[in-house]
Structure 1
Amino acid sequence: MERESRLVAVVAELGFDLSAPIKVGGDYAPIIVHDGQAHVSGQIPRIGDVVAVTGRVGDEATLEAARHAAKIGIIRALALLRQALGSLDRVSRALHMTVYVQSAEGFTQQSEVADAASAVLHHVLGEAGIHARTSVGVFRLPKNAAVEISLTAAVD
């Protein structure tokens, strides 16, 4: 229950609703659990019907706004894990996270954006939340989102 209470605390801080369904915008699964791994599709910082942070980071969106977007994205990924597994206690290890940052020309702080999501993952899952990571600057993301995050985790 410790992971659950930490998740609820972060969710309350961000204004996210864990009981709301996570919208899927296409012909794909938001999460696939197979052979001891869970693969979470890319999550943008959507709360309900609204993408909370949009635009190029370093231009229309600030570094702090992008860090906030990264926190929302990883919370969405954790919420999907929780829905699929019944409990975050079934996550034995976060394996790899990829953070895509819609970057303005000259913006080079993608890893600082990703750090915000990494911190949430570590906080909620404890030592099992320490993961490998890739952070990438991209030209454009779906719905003009500032950040998109995908996650792979080992599950029991």
Structure 2
Amino acid sequence: MVGAVAALAAGAEQRLMDLGVVLPPPPTPFGAYVEAVRIGKLLFLSGMLPVIDRRPQYVGCLGGELSVEDGYKAAELATLSALSAIKEHLGSLDKVIAVAKLGVYIATQGDFREHPRVADGASELLLKVFGPQLLSGRVVLGVASLPLGLPVEIELVLEVAD
């Protein structure tokens, strides 16, 4: 079964090129941690943020300074950073066998209710790159604040090939 699933993911690098997506530079830690840790067949990514070259691209809360569309784009950008970190750590996105978990944390005003739409920025990009066979369940949470005043942080756990 693993071989069949791995074959489905074999086109991730090609899909990314077909989409015309250029990954940002791999993210670097803002503190005392690493961006990715592999334990057995699992790759755990640290929280990925909508930053490029350590510069925030979106700052503020959803339902306040930022719109749902801004949040969607921030989630998409954080996912691009995650893909860049995966590629940096594994050498190729084609080594991803499955997305085991997607967590999306969204800094919101108290009455914000569009969490699923914002999180779709991450889910839909993963769907385009890895295909529906590798799409995971997800956890989406609204929080009071995130590092650096950013609106979105994503967390990924992946199963990877040896």
The reply to whether TM is greater than 0.5 is yes
Q: What is the aligned partner in structure 1 of residue 79 from structure 2?
A: 74
Larger Rg: 2
Q: Which residue of 2 aligns with 1:100?
A: 105
The gaps in structure 2 that reach 5 residues or longer are 1-9
Q: Return the alpha-carbon distance in structure 2 between the equivalents of residues 129 and 123 of structure 1.
A: 10
Structure 1 stretches lacking a partner, 5+ long: none
Specify the alignment match of 2:119 in structure 1. 114
Query: For 2:139, what is the secondary structure of its paired residue?
Result: strand
Check whether the contact 1:95–1:131 (CA below 8 A) recurs between aligned residues. yes
Work out whether residues 40 and 77 of structure 1, in 8 Å CA contact, stay in contact via their aligned partners in 2.
Answer: yes
SS in 2 for 1:123: helix
Confirm whether residue 11 of structure 1 aligns to residue 31 of structure 2. no
Offset at 1:75?
A: 1.0
Distance (Å, rounded) in 1 between the aligned partners of 2:26 and 2:160: 22
Give the one of 134, 138, 145 matched to 1:140: 145
Contact 1:92 1:128 in 2 (8 A): no
Alpha-carbon distance in 2 for matches of 1:2, 1:93: 13
Alpha-carbon deviations, 1:124-146, whole Å to 9, x = none?
Answer: 01134310100000000000001
Distance 1:46 1:10 in 2: 20
Runs of 4+ in 1 over 4 A off after TM superposition: none
Tell me the residue number matched to 2:155: 150
User: Following the alignment from structure 1 to structure 2, what is the Cα–Cα distance between the partners of residues 27 and 114?
Assistant: 27
Residues 135 and 93 of structure 1, relative CA distance in 2, 3 Å threshold: same
Quote the Cα distance in structure 1 between the aligned partners of 2:91 and 2:62.
35
- The sequence identity of aligned pairs, in percent, is 30
Query: So what's the TM-score if we normalise by structure 2?
Result: 0.87
Cα deviation, residue 4, structure 1? 1.4
Q: Is the 2:26–2:85 Cα contact (8 Å) retained in structure 1? A: no
Distance in structure 2 (CA, Å) of the matches to 1:62 and 1:77: 23
Question: CA–CA distance in 1 between the matches of 2:60 and 2:83?
Answer: 24
| Deviation (angstroms), 1:117 | 0.6
Tell me, yes or no, if the aligned pair for 1:123 and 1:129 is still in contact at 8 Å: no
